[in-house]
Each structure stands twice: as structure tokens, then as C-alpha cells.
């Protein structure tokens, strides 16, 4: 099988590039396994001070691989998504996401779990779960601590697409920049992180992220189970069939 997550290190930054363009960088078993492996590798390498997650193709990440979830059940996919977000949040090194294109479902969870998220202004976000008889339970673990209550209510309940400027104003991403400045801004942030002392970076990340990790530990299993239960409900199955028919 072709590699779906590319790993490289330069200037004390480990870059993990999602490259599963055939399914819009969906979180398939293979991609998630390779992403976990890359995070673990970066965490263990003494020369790495920060991690950058980015993506190839027009979509940053479309969320769960629905073909696998439909076949294997959503319980596994939801549990893995919770574990992935927690791994990003608990990594001993700061994680930056470079965001472009469309970002949906589990992709938003990756962005929210990261310490710093720099988004192209042209990127789009949406919590479309409500329209399919679902709720963004698993990703709420990292999303809700980032967004204001009012912004979360508006975006979760309407399911409407919103832009990166709105995402930045709500706290979901750190900042939104013109697409032609995205790489330069990400490089500037990564260069600043590379100047940090490893102990200082580690301890400061732990200081900032303690409440988020406590939330994962307290509610992770419960919200993964909620995702699985709703996905298997008659209402969600009917909405999903209607959605797939419209796409055809």
C-alpha cells in the first residue's frame, strides 16, 4: 500500500503530511495508524522541537472514512478519533496545523486539538452532523474548549459552512491569513517554536493543556459511545442514505 502520511524533519520541526487525496484525506485505518506512528516518532526524536500537520490536495481532512465506518461500525472510528485528538493534545512537543481547503468532522478535531492552527482565509469549516441525525460528540472534546459558547451553538445547530475568518474570531483557529501568505506565516511560527528550550516547550504545553486533557479523560468514552449510538440509529441511517443519493 502507498504511504498516506509522509514524515520529514527539517530545522527542528517534524512535518506530517496527510496524502490520501482519493478520499479527501479521510481518517482511514491506514492513515490514522501512520499518523499515530509519525506523532510517536516525532515525540521520541531529541532533535525535534515542534510538529507540523499539513495536507496535500484540495481538502485538509474530510473526517472519518465513511466506507470503513459503515462496514466496521462507528464505535471503532469514534474511539480512534478521541484517541487521536488526545494524542495530539498530550504530545510533549507543540503541534501546529497548516489548514487549507475544506475541513470537516474529524479534520476539525485535529485542528482544535493542535496547539496552534494557522488557516488560509479560503479554508471552509462546517459541523454538518446535525443534518444527518448526528452530533459532533467526539470532536466536541477539543472543539468546545476552543470556541465561544455562542459560536459553537450557531455552528453546531445550523450545520452551515463558515469561513476561516469566522473560525479565528470564534477561537477555533489561531489566525486566518491570505492563502498566498499561509506557508510564510506557518514557517515563521515554526521558526519561533524551534528557538524554544525543549523543557520550556514541554512544560508550557502541559500548563496550557491540562484542562483539555482532563476533559478527554473524563468524557472521552462517553462521547465516543454517543457518536456510535447515533450513527447506528434509524434516523441517522435514513439521513445518510438520502445524503448519498443527493451526491449521486
CATH of 5-194, one of 3.90.226.10, 3.30.450.20, 1.10.1040.10, 1.10.10.1150: 3.90.226.10
Match 516525532 to its residue by C-alpha cell.
42
First-last CA distance in the chain: 28
From first to last of its 248 residues, what are the pLDDT tens digits of the chain? 799 999 999 999 999 999 998 999 999 999 999 999 999 999 999 999 999 999 999 999 998 777 776 666 677 888 999 999 999 999 999 999 999 999 999 999 999 999 999 999 999 999 999 988 999 999 999 999 999 999 999 999 999 999 999 999 999 999 999 999 999 999 999 999 999 999 999 999 999 999 999 999 999 999 999 998 998 888 877 877 776 667 55
Residue 26 Rama label (left phi>0; alpha psi -120 to 50; beta): beta
Question: Grid coordinates standing for 232?
Answer: 447506528
Grid coordinates belonging to 160: 452551515
- CA–CA gap between residue 103 and residue 109 (Å, rounded): 9
What CA–CA distance (Å, rounded) separates 101 from 213?
28
Amino acid at each position: 500500500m502507498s504511504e498516506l502520511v509522509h514524515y520529514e524533519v527539517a530545522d527542528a520541526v517534524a512535518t506530517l503530511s496527510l496524502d490520501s487525496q482519493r478520499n479527501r484525506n479521510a481518517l482511514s485505518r491506514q492513515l490514522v495508524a501512520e499518523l499515530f506512528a509519525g506523532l510517536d516518532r516525532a515525540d521520541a526524536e531529541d532533535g525535534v522541537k515542534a510538529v507540523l500537520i499539513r495536507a496535500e490536495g484540495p481538502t485538509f481532512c474530510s473526517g472519518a472514512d465513511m466506507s470503513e465506518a459503515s462496514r466496521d461500525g462507528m464505535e471503532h472510528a469514534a474511539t480512534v478519533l478521541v484517541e487521536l485528538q488526545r494524542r495530539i493534545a498530550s504530545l510533549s512537543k507543540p503541534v501546529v496545523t497548516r489548514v487549507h481547503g475544506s475541513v470537516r468532522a474529524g479534520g476539525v478535531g485535529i485542528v482544535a486539538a493542535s496547539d496552534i492552527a494557522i488557516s488560509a482565509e479560503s479554508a471552509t469549516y462546517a459541523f454538518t452532523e446535525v443534518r444527518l441525525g448526528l452530533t459532533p460528540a467526539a470532536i466536541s472534546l477539543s472543539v468546545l474548549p476552543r470556541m465561544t459558547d455562542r459560536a459553537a451553538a450557531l455552528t453546531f445547530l445550523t450545520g452551515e459552512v463558515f469561513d476561516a475568518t469566522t473560525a479565528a474570531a470564534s477561537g477555533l483557529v489561531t489566525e486566518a491569513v491570505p492563502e498566498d501568505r499561509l506557508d510564510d506565516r506557518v514557517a515563521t511560527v515554526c521558526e519561533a517554536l524551534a528557538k524554544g528550550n525543549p523543557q520550556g516547550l514541554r512544560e508550557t504545553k502541559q500548563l496550557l493543556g491540562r484542562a483539555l486533557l482532563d476533559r478527554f479523560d473524563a468524557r472521552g468514552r462517553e462521547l465516543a459511545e454517543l457518536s456510535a449510538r447515533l450513527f447506528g440509529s434509524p434516523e441517522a441511517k435514513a439521513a445518510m442514505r438520502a445524503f448519498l443519493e443527493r451526491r449521486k
